[in-house]
Amino acid sequence: MYGVPDQFLSPRSILIPDTPTIFKVAAVLLYCTILLLIGWRASKRMRSIRDYFAADKKLGFWNVAFSARATGESAWLLLGLTGTGFAFGIQGFWVVLGELLGVGGAWLLMAKRFKRLTDRYDSITVPDYLESRLRDNGHMLRLIAAGALIIFVPIYAASQVYATGDAFNAFLRWDHMVGAIVGFAVVLFYITKGGFLAVVWSDVFQGLLMVTGLVLLPIVGLLEIGGVTNLIETLRTSSPGHLTLHAGAGWTSLTIVTVIGFAAIGIGFLGSPQVFVRFISLRSEKEIPRGAAVALIWTLLADGGAVLVGVVGRALYTEAQLGNDAESILPVMSQELLHPFLAGVFIAMVLSAIMSTIDSLLVVASSAGVRDYWQKTRHPDMPDETLLKLSRRVTLALAVISFLLGLGIIAYNREQGVFWLIIFGWSGIAATFCPTMILSLFWAGLTSLGARWSMVTGFLCVPFFKFAAPWLMDVAGWDLGPGYLGALDVLLPSFIISGAVGVVVSLFDTKGRERMQGVDQELKAASRGGGDSVS
């Protein structure tokens, strides 16, 4: 059996035999330098609030597709999904299927309608769109959306800070705190200087890096083990369940629920603001079909490659050799099988997944605070120059909050792993926005009141199903409850309940429906097309 010698491993700290660390550091420094140059270059193009939050709606399909995919994945792809492949085998491909369905649904079913309507309303943020579409003149819907983003984004971003420290510790043996500080300092510079444009440009670079690495590493692992036949024979002997779509457990009801939970992760692409703001920034709806093709190919290669890293790694290493930490498989494989400089590139790849998510989240949260609260509800006449300065300050403040939360997680929760925390933050944003976004694009009957209740319900359901529901099941003595809830996770039930509440409240909201005059025509025009704008 291939593997890392036991004397070089401990439960959460991976010690690799002495290698020229300078090569790894050089690769990371090169990566960070490129990001800093991107931020500096983008800062020269920041002239207005539209530039800072939507790149003045002038981006092409290639930039938007890579940016949307890099943003949608985070450290979960490099550490969490590779660890899923190691722990569950090819059952992890249910996650890939769910992501393909989610990404495809967003691009092929929702993007054109959304782009046409946001151009009609001249929206530059998702709350801009919701307020115009739902005739919410009192700004309450905007405030709910902004509040949800300002709460969940720092949690989600903090999980990425945690992952940054984890990555530097795994690859370079740096202290978690030091690694988190160094990684976050880089992303802080280019996002505050270059805004959304810097985010998109950096995402293209980082997205290329991520997909290339995730395609090549399992190929290197297969060569090491002697090909596909040897891989299958090794797994058949050591981990036969890893060769089945049910992880060797059979098609029990719990297995089916687990599969549904895996696939449901893709729901989060159907309306999350950090993804859909990319559609706003497109220069034309004509870019969408080509962007969809790029996004789907990227998802298949990157997500499929991540699962295969774990599957191949399972044949190369035992759980004990990884210190019972499945999320260590990518750092161990890259350092064991590649030249130190290339191992350093994989450090940069993990950082790419992390930073491409942090930067997008912070821009979205900053837009919620500055555009959706401060400008739209308090100071509508504030000039762009002042708003641009304020945007950078708010971005910095939210970044500091996220950073401190991340350090707190490192200090008190280091043993829990990154997967659950990232999914929790992702689910919170998705359950709050996605049902409302879907209803707003396809159902003229959605009212502002229905959307408000839907968003609040989705927001509250995520912590309820994560923390309260399992405890209540235990108290009630329902033995099957916690297992099934854990397998299903929080997003799907929160999503369903949020959507149902939005429909029911809207149906009973007579006054709200009276304010929806003209919405039928707007949605029909958005579905038909007829140019880049329906105005």
Residue 88 clears pLDDT 70, i.e. is over it: yes
Tokens 């060769």 — which residue?
A: 243
Architecture of 1-45+60-123+156-373 per CATH?
A: Up-down Bundle (1.20)
pLDDT-wise least confident of 49-53, 173-177, 391-395: 49-53
pLDDT: which is higher, 516 or 420: 516
Segment 17-38 shows an average pLDDT of 75
Question: Among 16-25, 234-243, 269-278, 403-412, which is the least confidently predicted range?
Answer: 16-25
Domain ranges of the chain: 1-45+60-123+156-373, 418-535
pLDDT (tens digit per residue) in 455-472: 999 999 998 988 888 778
More confident residue, 151 or 422: 151
Q: How high is the pLDDT of residue 8?
A: 33
Residue 137: CB partners within 8 Å, gap ≥ 6?
A: none
Q: Percentage of residues in the chain with pLDDT exceeding 70?
A: 80
Structure confidence at residue 431 (pLDDT): 93
User: SS3 letters for 200-266?
Assistant: HHHHHHHHHHHHHHHHHHHHHHHHHHCCHHHHHHHHHHHCHHHHCCCCCCCCCHHHHHHHHHHHHHH
State both tokens at 246. 């049910």
Residue 3, pLDDT score: 42
Q: What pLDDT does 306 receive?
A: 96
pLDDT of amino acid 56:
60
Q: What angle do CA 89, 92, 98 make, to 5 degrees?
A: 165
Lowest model confidence (mean pLDDT) among 403-407, 520-524, 531-535: 531-535
What's the average model confidence in pLDDT over 84-106? 96
- pLDDT for 520 equals 93
Query: Could you read off the pLDDT of 467-498 as tens digits, one per residue?
Result: 888 778 777 766 555 467 777 778 999 999 99
Provide the percentage of residues in the chain whose pLDDT is more than 90: 38
pLDDT at 278: 86
Rounded Cα distance between 57 and 95, Å, is 32
Residue 234 or residue 163, greater confidence: 234
Residue 192's nearest CA partner among 20, 317, 366 is: 366
**Cα torsion angle, 97, 98, 100, 101, sign:** positive
pLDDT at 421: 66
Q: Which of 61-65, 154-158, 224-228, 346-350 has the lowest mean pLDDT?
A: 154-158
Stated pTM of the model: 0.85
Encode pLDDT of 322-339 as tens digits: 888 898 899 999 989 998
Task: Classify residue 22 as exposed, middle or buried by CB count within 10 Å of its CB (0-12, 13-18, 19+).
Answer: exposed
49 compared with 108, residue with greater pLDDT:
108
